[in-house]
Amino acid sequence: MHYLIGDVQGCCDALDRLLAEIGFSPSRDRLHLLGDLVNRGPASLRTLQRLRALGGAATCLLGNHDLHLLAVATGGQRPHRNDTISDILDSPDRAALLEWLRHGKLADTAHGWLLVHAGVVPQWSAEQTLALAAEVQAVLTSPGLADFMRVMYGNQPARWDDALTGHDRWRMVLNVLTRIRYCTPDGTLEFDTKDGSGVAPPGHQAWFDTPRRRTLGVPIAFGHWSTLGLRNRPDLLALDTGCVWGGSLTAVRIDGGRRDVTQVHCPDGRTPF
């Protein structure tokens, strides 16, 4: 059985309870985690250790918090005061865990679903999304990781152009795959608004509601947007249900023609900053 799981963000106890609830067996089942494995929750180290130990039974996307961990670890970014990643950085397992993490995917497919952490811009097809994700994954697994981490952050360029090259191209791809919520119909990104999709800034829409999106008709699953909550449409699954903020951690079974939703409450969630 194949399960999609939303943002864990270091809530390892909730993850363990969720896996028990679905009767997960690593010899039989496959997990597809949609990114933001770590940070803000109480057990980032234990979460990475747990997921890494599952081997091929778990495929993990990288989210913006996972990239932040890599940036801090390589000296490309200072820790934020609200980070809860010091247990990883101080761990004897640090090198092995970070090496495993940076080989995570930025986009994937499972049983006909396109999997991303945050979303896609209207100009990208599913095939282009996967190709661009693989292009940046090659950078993250290369000896140039530390150099890229120093220039990864920034909101420019704000709109995709196939002619983009180098750091601008890779930054844009990461911003789309790990940060997008709202954009204009031409794909210009907006990063300031984090509320639910009913309060879009003027001229913008939730990325999945943009007209003429090239991935229309392609089932897409994503996390990242906790204020959106669970969205369960035939062609869309939004699975960040705010575990780290005292909400729930969600798993959805997607194989065998079934769409079983399982949730566990996370009472140890933190107050949003």
Per residue in 22-57, pLDDT (tens digit) is 999 999 999 999 999 999 999 999 999 999 999 999
Residue 252, in any domain of the structure: yes
Phi, psi of 222 (to 5 degrees): -155, 170
What CATH number does the domain containing 125 carry? 3.60.21.10
Long-range CB contact pairs, 164-171, < 8 A, 24+: 169/135, 170/135, 170/136, 170/139
Residue 273, in any domain of the structure: no
Binned at pLDDT 50, 70 and 90, residue 270 comes out as low
Residue 9, in any domain of the structure: yes
Residue 231 makes CB contacts below 8 A (sequence gap 6+) with 237, 238
pLDDT surpasses 90 at 62: yes
Tokens, residue 200 = 């879009």
Question: Model confidence over 124-145: pLDDT tens digits?
Answer: 999 999 999 999 999 999 999 9
CA distances from 245 to 45, 71, 109, 231, 273 (A): 19, 24, 28, 18, 10
CB 224 within 8 A of CB 64: yes
Residue 268 confidence (pLDDT): 63
Residue 271, in any domain of the structure: no
Residue 255, in any domain of the structure: yes
Start-to-end Cα distance in the chain = 36
Residue 217 confidence (pLDDT): 93
Tokens, residue 102 = 């940076």
Structural domain harbouring 166? 2-265
CA distance 107 to 41: 24
Number of domains into which the chain is organized: 1
CA distance 58 to 89: 23
Residue 208, in any domain of the structure: yes
pTM greater than the 0.85 cutoff: yes
CA angle 185, 187, 189 (to 5 degrees): 115
Binned at pLDDT 50, 70 and 90, residue 267 comes out as confident
Residue 270, in any domain of the structure: no
Question: Model confidence over 182-228: pLDDT tens digits?
Answer: 999 999 999 887 777 677 889 999 999 999 999 999 999 999 999 99
CA distance 218 to 235: 6
Residue 92, in any domain of the structure: yes
